[in-house]
Amino acid sequence: MINEYYKEMTGKGSVIREFFTYANARAAEIGKENIVNFSLGNPSVPTPQEFTDYMKELLENEDPVALHGYSPTLGKDSTREAIAASLNRRFGMNYGKEHIFPTTGAAGAIAHAVRCVVKEGDEVITFAPYFPEYNPYIEGAGAVLKVVPADIETFQINFDAFLEMMNEKVAAVLINSPNNPSGIVYSTETITRLADILREKQEEYGHEIFLLTDEPYREIVFAGTDSPFVSKFYDNSICCYSFSKSLSLPGERIGYVAVNPKAKDAEYIVPMCGQISRFTGHNCPPSIIQLAVEKVLDITSDLSIYERNADKLYRELTRIGYHIVKPGGTFYMFPRALTDDANEFCWRAAKELNLIIVPSDSFRVPGHFRISYCVTEDVVEQSIPLFEKLYEMYS
């Protein structure tokens, strides 16, 4: 008999996916150019030419048996060394290759990191607004995800609510900065305070509390934004990274776990990831992609359009009257909806204006909507009168 738990789940589509599907169906009816689609977080700029060139070079010059051969269980040594060296150079860290585990994107990274530091029944705390896929990662590790309500004035951490939620069962805290969906980057002040609290609570509870940092947007930070490298502030930390956004490679599934060398039992964590892989059937990211990424660790796609889009949308939407906490990075912003029911608000925008934005509820914040502005500048331009009309509809 098929497993009822997963079967039940197949009926429940994600709300974001519903809006995306609606957008595609509408585009088929009235033409793609008549839909302003802000629903998905797919990079809109190409991968650097260097990546493409190096892929072709590998295919032309390498022995195919070696090139496409099994990756070692813990990933390719040269890739692991190159990632460690790049992080050390850029952030003054002290990673060795033994702290780096290449993964199939941030999804693979978080799925492994969580399993390393929790046991059945433990709690993991995260902060709203948050990426809804955290639920299955945490649940799949046998732990329980607890969500701290958002501070909607700043989208920094709501420390009072966090302190209320802390208890002895908390084995890990998972943060996402720069943040999907708010676009906010946690400040040095926020990270310092978080680290201080975690150290204090470790002492109080007599066990480690790991800080897992989900950082796929680390390279998309706008001018003037304070963007600390979190692992510098707290020893028991594991960085979960993806190249999906920085190199525009979401489909190629490449990222890594970087274990803080100062973490308790740091030397065990990567070998444990290797063991966890055997249970999930993960078995390393693709060999050729590991090798190709090695050569482009210190560069990114041309990400400047995201900042231009952010500036324009923020300027125009606040001019119209929307309330927005100004994003410091990513390609998202998270304005307040003009009514309490974000779901109704977004469906109205979709159905009456062909403007596709997604409601905030699945990020566990009511009354907001997410704009994914990984789109061309023309689309941003096209959206402004629509946002204007939407505002009028609620005035």
- Which amino acid is residue 9, in one-letter code? M
Between residue 273 and residue 312, which ones bind its own copies under the rule CB under 8 A? 274-276, 278-289
Q: What contacts 78, CB < 8 A, 6 or more positions away? A: 291, 294
59 binds its own copies (CB under 8 A): yes
**What residue ranges in the chain does DSSP mark as E strands?**
36-37, 100-103, 123-127, 144-148, 170-176, 210-214, 237-242, 255-259, 332-333, 355-356, 358-359, 369-372
Q: Which is nearer to its own copies, 280 or 339 (CB)?
A: 280
| Inter-residue contact 153 to 323 (CB < 8 Å) | no
Q: Does 71 bind its own copies (CB under 8 A)?
A: yes
Decide: is 93 part of the binding site for its own copies (CB under 8 A).
Answer: no
Determine if 42 is a binding residue for its own copies (CB under 8 A): yes
Residue whose CB is less far from its own copies, 352 or 377? 377
Positions in 352-381 near its own copies (CB under 8 A) = none
Instruction: List strand residue ranges (DSSP E) for 215-354, in order.
Output: 237-242, 255-259, 332-333
Residues 6+ apart with CB under 8 A from 64: none
Which residue in the set 18, 27, 68, 96 belongs to the binding site for its own copies (CB under 8 A)? 68
Q: Please name the residues in contact with 129: beta carbons below 8 A apart, sequence gap of 6 or more.
A: 150, 155, 179, 181, 182, 334, 360, 363, 364, 365, 368
Structure tokens at 309: 């889009």
When asked if residue 64 is in the footprint of its own copies (CB under 8 A), the reply is yes
221, two tokens = 């930070």
Q: Is 269 left (phi over 0), alpha (psi -120 to 50) or beta?
A: alpha
Establish if 107 lies at the interface with its own copies (CB under 8 A): yes
Per rule CB under 8 A, count of chain residues that contact its own copies: 77
Task: Select from 65-73, 88-96, 325-333, 357-365 the region that touches its own copies (CB under 8 A).
Answer: 65-73
Query: Binding string, 157-176, against its own copies, x = CB under 8 A?
Result: --------------x-----
CA torsion sign for 329, 335, 340, 342 is negative
In this structure, are residues 43 and 250 in contact, taking their beta carbons and an 8 Å threshold?
Answer: yes
- CB nearer to its own copies: pick between 228 and 271: 271
139 binds its own copies (CB under 8 A): yes
Q: Which is nearer to its own copies, 18 or 208 (CB)?
A: 208
Residue 333 burial (C-beta neighbours within 10 Å; 0-12, 13-18, 19+): buried
Closer Cβ to its own copies, 139 or 392, answer by number: 139
Among 37, 39, 79, 103, binds its own copies (CB under 8 A): 103
DSSP character at residue 239? E
| Binding of residue 45 to its own copies (CB under 8 A) | yes
Q: Which residue has the tokens 């990114």?
A: 300
In the complex with its own copies, which residue's Cβ is closer, 3 or 395? 3
Q: Does 61 bind its own copies (CB under 8 A)?
A: no
Out of 32, 89, 90, 119, point to the residue binding its own copies (CB under 8 A): 119
Q: Is 3 one of the binding residues for its own copies (CB under 8 A)? A: yes
Which of 19, 130, 131, 137 binds its own copies (CB under 8 A)? It is 137
Could you tell me the smallest distance in angstroms from the CB atom of residue 258 to its own copies? 16
Judged by CB under 8 A, the residue of 208, 294, 316, 388 near its own copies is 208
- Among positions 229-268, residues that touch its own copies (CB under 8 A) are 248-253, 264-265, 268
Report the residue number, 57 or 344, with the smaller CB distance to its own copies.
57
Q: How far is the CB of 47 from its own copies (least distance, A)?
A: 5
Assess 382 for contact with its own copies (CB under 8 A): no
Residue 175 CB neighbour total at 10 angstroms: 21
